[in-house]
Amino acid sequence: AQKITQTQPGMFVQEKEAVTLDCTYDTSDPSYGLFWYKQPSSGEMIFLIYQGSYDQQNATEGRYSLNFQKARKSANLVISASQLGDSAMYFCAMREGPSGGGADGLTFGKGTHLIIQP
Amino acid sequence: DVKVTQSSRYLVKRTGEKVFLECVQDMDHENMFWYRQDPGLGLRLIYFSYDVKMKEKGDIPEGYSVSREKKERFSLILESASTNQTSMYLCASRWGLTLSTDTQYFGPGTRLTVL
């Protein structure tokens, strides 16, 4: 079973509109972290936002916010007031395991290709 | 700013060749990772290292090996390249000992083509 599911392979959005990118996850570990990365056409992965499983509040970073619904195992990324420069691939990722150690890598979803139209 | 560099952006090799992909980070990070990225599959972890000379297999280690002789450098080795190893390879590093500091910083990627 997939641990990270991104159901939107591609999205077209008008500039200045808000965008929600879906991500659901699957884990039985009570301690985990959720991440969103942006990958523009240049190829580099850019970290956007992090949400810990025990965090009480939804994470926010500038125009990015994470709509964390723990019971639904959902961690959707919301981009407010989209810009042309937001056009990119977006990946949701998870790391499982207790805080305090471990070197495991991230498990990534398959990504959503977001295109912002003028 | 954290900087992760990879030795090549584009690489073309022939089947059977031995291929070295180099990654260097400048932030004294303990953990380093190699992923491959394929369309429709996202990123998949090949190997990671949590210390010098230490390595652990990721989800798809077959056909690859790694080397970490110095803390800042993590090499991915294709002993005998095959066409199904044509892919984008991404290196990442991380300091974090806890989940909250887990942010991985990625290099620009190496697009490898095996003919």
Report the C-alpha gap between A50 and B94 in whole angstroms.
14
Instruction: Tally DSSP H helices, then E strands, for chain A.
Output: 0, 12
User: Is the pLDDT at A28 greater than 90, yes or no?
Assistant: no
Tokens coding A62: 């500038």
Structure confidence by residue, pLDDT tens digits, B37-57: 998 888 999 999 988 999 999
Non-local CB neighbours of B26 within 8 Å, separated by 6+ positions: B2, B3, B4, B72
- What's the confidence (pLDDT) of residue A100? 36
Contact B108 A43 (CB under 8 A): yes
Residue A98: per-residue pLDDT: 58
Return the pLDDT at A30: 87
pLDDT of residue A42: 87
- CB contact (8 A) between residue B50 and residue A103: yes
Interchain CB distance below 8 Å, A108 and B48: no
From chain A, pick out residues whose CB is under 8 angstroms from the CB of B106: 37, 44-46
Distance CA B59, CA A60 (A): 31
Q: Which two tokens stand for residue B96?
A: 């974090």
Q: For B42, which residue in chain A has the nearest alpha carbon?
A: A110
Query: Dihedral (C-alpha) B18, B47, A47, A67: value to the nearest 10 degrees?
Result: 140
pLDDT in tens, chain B (115 residues): 668 999 999 999 999 999 999 999 998 888 899 999 998 888 999 999 988 999 999 989 999 999 999 999 999 999 999 999 999 999 999 876 565 556 788 999 999 999 9
Assign A96 a pLDDT band (cuts: 50, 70, 90): confident
Could you report how far apart the first and last alpha carbons of chain B are, in Å? 37
